[in-house]
Amino acid sequence: KLKFQLTKCEESEKIITEANIEDENYQLFIDNQSALVYADKQYISDGQANNFALKINTDDKLVAKDLQELARQTHFRGYYQLNNDIINLASSAVGDFAFSAESGTVWMYESSWYDSGQLVPDQVTPASDELPIVDGAASARISTSYSRGDHKYPQKLTYDGNVTATKFIKTGGTNNYILLANGDTKKVVLATSNYDDGLRISRAVESTGGSAILLGCSRTSNTGVIAGQWQIFTSPNNYDNNPLGFVKSLSSDSGYTTRGLCISSDVNTLIFNRQIIAGTDSAVGSVNYSQGNPILWGANSTGTEGGFYSNGNSVFWRDHAIQFDPYYQEQ
């Protein structure tokens, strides 16, 4: 656009003509020293340019300070979303170049457009030829503009100080779900009155799997046989020995009824290191030793097989005669 302004100088009473020719970025104007100047608008203040591309002084001398920038402005075709937008530019000439948001690189033209592989200056590529982003307050609104992948989104921001922000939620989410990093949701199971007492550990598979508490674990490994590691264990239903039963033993022995303390799944048999201490139909208060004979105080234990038995008041050991030393009694 061309703008003329006539002013009257009070001292010389001369009419001075000021002419300005400008576009979005550059301006051609007469400065305070009556020189004709072509400069970037950002360097112009109070009728003077502290940096310029061309300047013709009143003595008719031409000063070219930034011819490289002039050439750059002449051949720069702009910012584009897609590589194809650049390839399809009309009236391209040798030396033309453009910035692509798709590749993040500078495209150049010789006989045709090609990707130079050079990164866009400062690695900042506007999404299009819209107004660039500037610092300052903005109003919330919807944008349909293309957004580069290297922009930082809320989930990736790093802050040095305290942050006050609204919560991030997933559309359709409820207060019973946690949003995971990959966008999935995990249900929060809030314990009811039936499940909130004590420590509760479920089986790995409902009703059929095993479950365990390990004691004396290794600090550096959780695989293989750990020496001295104990296990409070309820076995899965596919165990040959004591399926779904209860075992307290070394972890390496938890699958055997011949090791540790075992209680059958029907709670009728108690076994300790191969020995059935109390079996099915045992009388209340009895303990079985050796041949399966119960020793119960106040009741007789009959039978001719070996092992312990009792008559209710005394405990006897069958198959072993008890002899008294006659000489001892004479003393």
Give per-residue pLDDT as tens, 197-254.
Answer: 677 888 889 889 989 888 998 888 877 778 889 988 888 998 887 888 888 888 888 7
Q: Which domains does the chain have, with CATH numbers?
A: 2-65 (no CATH), 75-123 (3.40.1620)
pLDDT for residue 318 is more than 90: no
pLDDT for residue 16 is more than 70: no
Supply the pLDDT for residue 139. Answer: 60
139 close to 121: Cβ distance less than 8 angstroms: no
Give per-residue pLDDT as tens, 248-293.
Answer: 888 888 767 667 888 888 877 787 776 766 666 555 555 555 455 5
* Mean pLDDT value of segment 13-41: 72
Using only C-alpha atoms, the chain has a radius of gyration, in whole angstroms, of 47
> pLDDT category, 176, cuts 50, 70, 90?
confident
Highest mean pLDDT, choosing among 5-9, 28-32, 171-175 = 28-32
213 close to 235: Cβ distance less than 8 angstroms: no
Supply the pLDDT for residue 164. Answer: 62
- Give residues with Cβ within 8 angstroms of 76, minimum separation 6: 96, 97, 98
| pTM above threshold 0.75 | no
Supply the pLDDT for residue 242. Answer: 81
Q: Which residue type, as a one-letter code, is found at position 96?
A: D
Supply the pLDDT for residue 200. Answer: 80
